[in-house]
Amino acid sequence: MNEDQLKQLVEQVDHRQDELISLLEKLVRFKTPAPPARNTGDAQAFIADYLKSMRFDVEQWELYPGDSNVVGELKGRDSSSYKSLIINGHIDVAEVSEDEVWESDPFTPIVRDGVVIGRGTADMKGGVAGALFAIQLLQEAGIELPGDLTFQSVVGEEVGEAGTLSCCEKGYTADFALVVDTSDLHIQGQGGVITGWVTLKSSQTFHDATRRNMIHAGGGLKGASTIEKMMKVIAGLQELERDWAVMKSYPGCPAGANTINPAVIEGGRHAAFIADECRLWITVHFYPDETHEQVMKEIEGHLQLVAQADPWLRENPLIFEWGGSSMIEDRGEIFPALEVDPAHRAVQLLAQTHEGVLKTPVIQDVSATVTDGGWFGHAEIPAAIYGPGDLRNAHAVNEQVSIQQLVDYTKVILIFMYTWTHTKK
């Protein structure tokens, strides 16, 4: 295919944008909110059939009952000589609360005024639809890519369930991975997130009536409320957070984006007891050049110093639990960070393609949120985030995506898939 033929193929995105919108509408109609999750079966069956119709070899496996990953592989005609590519997207969408006031049912899409409205349009069924439609156009044109193309439709991203990690563990790899999640057509890396529980337990349990003996001079009873002692832990976390804001930075991240959020506190039995156990659930955001193991170690080390300064905490050690595989199953999650190398050939090609289609320089920055992109960094697969939709609409009531941006994105990803898989190793 020469340059003029590729240009004509890209023009088909404009001529057939109704088909692209129709595909997005079909995906939105599948009700896949997480939580509650365990509801992606029909949507994943649709994507599996779609990929099979385009000659992909498809593997599907269950991550949790009712939620399975779908991976399609299209082997290139000269895989050993040309670059390979993974396109990755999640099929689950943000939850919808009963009290949210939508124009209509969130899973009945509305097309009007240049946008598509519906849950998942921005995050991130728009990205999935555009990538699938681009592949369809390449297939219909009879183009046989020389490099391998893998399409991953994963589950669990919204609730910290690592569908993408499962793909990596099964051995799916490539010379580059593109996560087509919400980025407003910026090329992005991301910081990471880890949740953790800090627990205080008293070695003894006391009646509420003994409180006077614990807090007044000469009371003679060494004890404490774990709720009150947790206040010292929270104060210690605030001190560390302020230190991070002053002493750490990363290009493209606003100052202080590395935060420690005391999200949930649970403690005490009932009013007749001194609280003998208290648990604090924290969410930690860290920079792209850090690891979750590193920030865990820093937090534990700082809080141990806080504890050493308190006579009761010295004798009642802090208990730490970090991460988890699901916010639903075990109330924990890990999203590794992703650093994007601007000098990587695929990143440069994506930037050139964006600028060629949109006639404007691409923005390369760091996402304010997290995606599955970090799992590729964790697996040492070069990757970037690039997709339609913006964070103002992700998870929002009347979530929507711009049709023009969806069309532009589809053109970019079509050219990028074609060109990267025609790039010699």
Q: Which of 123, 157, 175, 408 is catalytic?
A: 157
Q: Which two tokens stand for residue 295?
A: 């920030």
What end-to-end distance do the CA atoms of the chain give, in Å? 20
Active site residue 59: no
Contacts of 358 (CB under 8 A, 6+ apart): 185, 408, 412
Q: Which of 335, 339, 5, 326 minimizes the C-alpha distance to 143?
A: 5
Q: Are strands 383-385 and 176-179 parallel, antiparallel or unpaired?
A: parallel
Q: Which two tokens stand for residue 352?
A: 């050139």
Q: Which of 25, 67, 73, 92 is catalytic?
A: 92
Q: How far apart are CA 387 and CA 127, in angstroms?
A: 5
Active site residue 123: no
Nearest-10 Cα torsion for 135, 374, 286, 303: 150
Q: In this structure, is the dihedral angle defined by the CA atoms of residues 100, 27, 175 and 353, taken in order, positive or negative? A: negative
| Catalytic machinery residues | 92, 157
